[in-house]
Structure 1
Amino acid sequence: MKKSNLSLVGTLLLFGLMVVDPLLADEPTDGDLNSISPVKSVLLIVSDDLRASTLGCYGDQVTRTPNLDRMAASGMVFDRAYCQGTWCAPSRKSFMRSRYVDAGCPTLGETLKAADIPSTRVGKIFHMRVPGDIFDGTNGEDVAECWTERFNSQGDEAHTVGDYACLNQNIFTTAMEGRQGARTAHRMFVTVQVDGDATDQPDYKSASKAIELLHRYQDQSFFLAVGLVRPHYPMVAPKTMFEHYPAESMELPNTWNQDLSKSGIPPAGQPGGRSAQNGIDRYPINQKRMWSGYRASVEFMDAQVGRMLDALEELGLSETTAVVFTSDHGYHLGDHTFWQKSNLHENVAKVPLIIRPGVRSGTSHANASTQIFDTQMLAKQGQRSESLVELVDLYPTVCDLMSVPTPSACQGKSLIPILSDPSRTLRAEAITILGQRKTRHFLLRTHRWALMSYQNGSTELYDMQKDPEQLTNLANDPEYAVTQTDLQRRLASVIAQRGLSLSTQ
């Protein structure tokens, strides 16, 4: 076992060549961690399929996310956080074990339980089929040994009473018959506008159970992981929230009707869920309705986060409880005509990550037994970091927050140095992995560049400073040939350093 994962691997060897980024990784010292007293408990909140750019604290001016915005205002926002898996199952396994692709480390909950800290799950943390396991109230691919207790939150999902739409089929009804549910072909384009406050929804139930558990655990240390399923389809939310986002006012991505034959995106980079394949290309207004439903679902999810934050404050736990909020991956909503996930482009690979180590609400607490972070040392209110971080970093960060040794098998790095100083960096690049049955494809993300390397040899290269929407693939531009060669060598070095391989078999 190791105390923390703060040391940085030495200078990256790139087979003689290396692309130099504006920011280089600093070498954290043990003093960063030892000078900070640990929090008492951690609340981890994981949203599902959440696109970072739809949150107010990430610059969105449309979606109403007051609760995540207030959490951001009293914690730290990570502007360059990346998932390691591009759909639910591999991503969640990765961050709950701090491994890029395998299960070679005990789960986070097992490590905390071994330190006599109860580990409790509410809702979806490891993979569950949405809507299937949510409708059935079943555990999905959950790992039982991770938890001291676990609770599922059942919901009727697409069969919730309300105004139902299947937008790629242009179907609108209140009837219950014929709705797209688990394992149906068009379920990812379903919205349901619910009359009333939607207290029967799984996320509302999850927040209610979490609040109940906070009351129970308020006098002890705890790790509480709460998985919220929205905005994952079906996008079910109160009708009043849908009304905040009238379809006619929704703006589509600039590339919503892009001609892929002229886009420069190779076939390997084009996911299966494209507008021309699923039929929503016939209904531009329904693409706007998808945005309306997604934003309404995000707002509903945000409201549940707010209920949990309020409970922490009411119970006097805000000072001693670190709150971590993230998502398993991002989401496409018509960008490049792409929908959903399983893709290496920025809107899927980038995830929201907000960490609030603890909120001091009164005068200074000098008594070390209170185990409160000194906010002069850690995550001053409203800070942001542009350091490249990965979801595998959550596990060692939680361990360090709770003064629990991090298993040596963890591949992530503790974010404590960045929480202490947002200008610090732990790595010069982040990677995201798109795994298929026999192949793996990789994203190498630096501060400037995004390189997507596919198993068949095709690539995409984007200058993210000049082209954040990834409109121009520079991979075949002779002017950038040296840059691409350097980045490919860099990727090969990172793959080797992190014990990965190009093939899953």
Structure 2
Amino acid sequence: MMMLKSVFNLICFAGVSLVITGTTAYKSPPKAKAKPNIILIFTDDQRFNTVHALGNDQVITPNLDGLVRGGTTFTHAYNMGAWHGAVCVASRAMLLTGMSVWNVKEEEKNYASLVNSKGFWPQQLKLAGYETYMTGKWHVATDAAKLFDHASHIRPGMPNQTPRGYNRPLAPTDTTWQPWKEEYEGFWKGGKHWSEVVADDAVGYLDEASKKDVPFFMYLAFNAPHDPRQAPKRWVDRYPVDDIKLPASYLDEYPYKVEMGCGPDLRDEQLAPFPRTPYAVKKNIQEYYASISYMDEQVGRILYALKKSGKLENTYIFFTADHGLSLGHHGLIGKQSMFDHSIRTPLVVSGPGIPEGEKRDQDVYLQDVMATSYELAGVTKPAHVFFNSFMPQIKNKKKPGVYDEIYGCYIDLQRMVRADGYKMIVYPKASKVLLFDLKKDPDEMHDIAGNASSKPILKSLKQKLVKQQKMLHDELDLSKTNFSNFEGF
């Protein structure tokens, strides 16, 4: 299979590096009748550029780096948006049903019909002969235990946050709350860090799966690196605050924070003080990276168990997250924005026939993982599934992406469309349109909407946004807004 030996030659966890004998590489998918196993490693709040092998030299992620080296990475994977502040709810609902954002919002009111028709991802794979397993974060308005054959430690949307975890740190001397202090519970509630529990559960299931011939689907959902961003002290100490770099787009405050729904009344934004300070942002980034590294350590345990199980050569592994996180970019802390740091995620796939160490820059939605797994499992995509397999782009790096543009939304406060190297963001409550040239300005710091030369670009993106709104049943009428720097919708 097209998976580099380096993926599993060096797997790191618990501070120890284990050298594992590599497997012979195939040049095409196995021809055996057995269906491939499918594993999703799914994280929470993990931004697209928080993997060392994807260009972030600050963060330590040896096991995710192995997946990148041994598989294909989609560099521009996006979440479509959300209808309330818990963006992960919409993201996971889309992933598990395959429905687009506003359609699944309506379906969420009563999932019974979709459950009865076996329209959820694990149900479809079970019909195809798969044994299904999940552990970790759920946060979907239906019972995971009824959708999967096996479900362990079904977690809520986030670990309990303590009041001491908000509005901090006020200064370097503000050290009351520390991410390794188990008395604040959070990820430590129950006596063992939740990231470690996910790995324990996955390792246990893989041991059982090694004794069976049935193909399996594993949905492994880490709560990390969501706040409270907790990790053992040994990992926090690997990230001295003075060594942390501020984001290029760092601001003390974002001028449209209230109108876009990211003001002081939003829970996520309350985690750090207003206005932001360089120290507070660096401290939050320190804890974020430590949480990611500890989670990466647990991923290493899972990969090692997969190797031991004898199932590696016929297993596809998908790694992605439900959305990103701001953490100081543009003066924001949460994920409720249309900037890439909030809507763009890592997305890596490895397995039989997947090119190793390659990247694809076609725009995709992270929820395309579901449709891709259907293609790999030989499942006909149900009619209700909006998203699409990206296997054609994996097989042919020059093949255009399925989507002419990428759409984004947040409640009725933000809309976004990305196409042709540009991104347009609309804030209706601020009567504001922003435009970014993503090739010249990947950090989205220089709004060019007011430039005379931008008028044709804005007109084109407006048409694309209107088209997406109609297709996706987005009922927000932007034509009634008098935009100060655009000739209206």
The reply to whether TM is greater than 0.5 is yes
Of residues 392, 412, 418, the one that matches 2:367 is 392
Residue in 2 aligned with 1:28? none
The percentage of counterpart residues that share the same residue type is 23
CA distance, structure 1, for counterparts of residue 168 and residue 319 of structure 2: 30
Residue 62 (structure 1) aligned with residue 58 (structure 2): yes
CA distance, structure 1, for counterparts of residue 177 and residue 476 of structure 2: 48
CA distance, structure 1, for counterparts of residue 90 and residue 155 of structure 2: 23
Residue in 2 aligned with 1:426? 401
Residue 173 (structure 1) aligned with residue 181 (structure 2): no
Distance 1:454 1:146, change over 3 A: farther
Cα deviations across residues 71-119 of structure 1 (Å, max 9, x unaligned)? 1111110001001235110111011111112335621112112223222
The answer to whether the 8 A contact 2:407-2:465 is kept is no
CA distance, structure 2, for counterparts of residue 213 and residue 460 of structure 1: 48
Of residues 125, 132, 135, the one that matches 1:112 is 125
Per-residue deviation at 1:472? 1.2
What code does the residue aligned with 2:449 have?
Answer: A
Distance 1:56 1:418, change over 3 A: same
Of residues 320, 325, 338, the one that matches 2:314 is 320
Q: Helix, strand or coil: the match of 2:122?
A: helix
Cα deviations across residues 289-347 of structure 1 (Å, max 9, x unaligned)? 11110100010111111111111111121111100010000000111110011111110
Distance 1:429 1:213, change over 3 A: same
The answer to whether the 8 A contact 2:251-2:276 is kept is no
Distance 1:115 1:177, change over 3 A: closer
CA distance, structure 2, for counterparts of residue 451 and residue 37 of structure 1: 47
Cα deviations across residues 207-251 of structure 1 (Å, max 9, x unaligned)? 111111112123320111010011100111111111111001111
Structure 1 window deviating more from structure 2 (278-287 vs 332-341): it is 278-287
Residue in 2 aligned with 1:75? 71
Cα deviations across residues 427-450 of structure 1 (Å, max 9, x unaligned)? 3444343342xx363221225111
Residue 89 (structure 1) aligned with residue 81 (structure 2): no
What code does the residue aligned with 1:461 have?
Answer: L
Q: Helix, strand or coil: the match of 1:384?
A: strand
Residue 201 (structure 1) aligned with residue 201 (structure 2): no
Q: Helix, strand or coil: the match of 1:337?
A: coil
Residue 98 (structure 1) aligned with residue 94 (structure 2): no
CA distance, structure 2, for counterparts of residue 470 and residue 487 of structure 1: 16
The answer to whether the 8 A contact 2:78-2:364 is kept is yes
The answer to whether the 8 A contact 1:41-1:321 is kept is yes
The residue correspondences of 1:228-307 to structure 2 (distance < 5 A) are 228-258=222-252, 260-261=254-255, 268-269=259-260, 271-272=262-263, 278-279=272-273, 281=275, 283-307=277-301
CA distance, structure 2, for counterparts of residue 286 and residue 46 of structure 1: 27
The answer to whether the 8 A contact 1:164-1:173 is kept is no
CA distance, structure 1, for counterparts of residue 169 and residue 143 of structure 2: 32
Q: Helix, strand or coil: the match of 2:224?
A: strand
CA RMSD of aligned residues (A): 3.6
Distance 1:441 1:314, change over 3 A: same
Of residues 449, 465, 487, the one that matches 2:422 is 449
The answer to whether the 8 A contact 1:100-1:392 is kept is no
Residue in 1 aligned with 2:10? none
The residue correspondences of 1:101-180 to structure 2 (distance < 5 A) are 101=101, 102-103=103-104, 106-127=119-140, 142-152=143-153, 167-169=168-170, 171-173=174-176
Of residues 384, 390, 412, the one that matches 2:387 is 412
CA distance, structure 2, for counterparts of residue 60 and residue 206 of structure 1: 25
Which structure ranks higher in relative contact order (CA pairs < 8 Å, sequence separation ≥ 6)? 1
Per-residue deviation at 1:469? 1.0
Residue in 1 aligned with 2:444? 470
What code does the residue aligned with 1:417 have?
Answer: P
Distance 1:37 1:418, change over 3 A: farther
Q: Helix, strand or coil: the match of 2:463?
A: helix
CA distance, structure 2, for counterparts of residue 304 and residue 177 of structure 1: 20
Q: TM-score, normalised by structure 1?
A: 0.75
CA distance, structure 2, for counterparts of residue 143 and residue 82 of structure 1: 25
Distance 1:346 1:38, change over 3 A: farther
What code does the residue aligned with 1:396 have?
Answer: A
The answer to whether the 8 A contact 2:134-2:150 is kept is yes
Distance 1:421 1:490, change over 3 A: same
Q: Which runs of 5+ in 1 are unaligned?
A: 1-31, 128-139, 183-190, 359-372
Per-residue deviation at 1:143? 4.2
Residue in 2 aligned with 1:40? 36
Q: Helix, strand or coil: the match of 2:223?
A: strand
Residue in 1 aligned with 2:327? 333
Distance 1:36 1:169, change over 3 A: farther
Distance 1:259 1:477, change over 3 A: farther
Q: TM-score, normalised by structure 2?
A: 0.77
Per-residue deviation at 1:475? 2.0
Distance 1:282 1:224, change over 3 A: closer
Structure 1 window deviating more from structure 2 (103-112 vs 379-388): it is 103-112
Cα deviations across residues 333-368 of structure 1 (Å, max 9, x unaligned)? 111110011111110111110011x2xxxxxxxxxx
The answer to whether the 8 A contact 1:40-1:402 is kept is yes
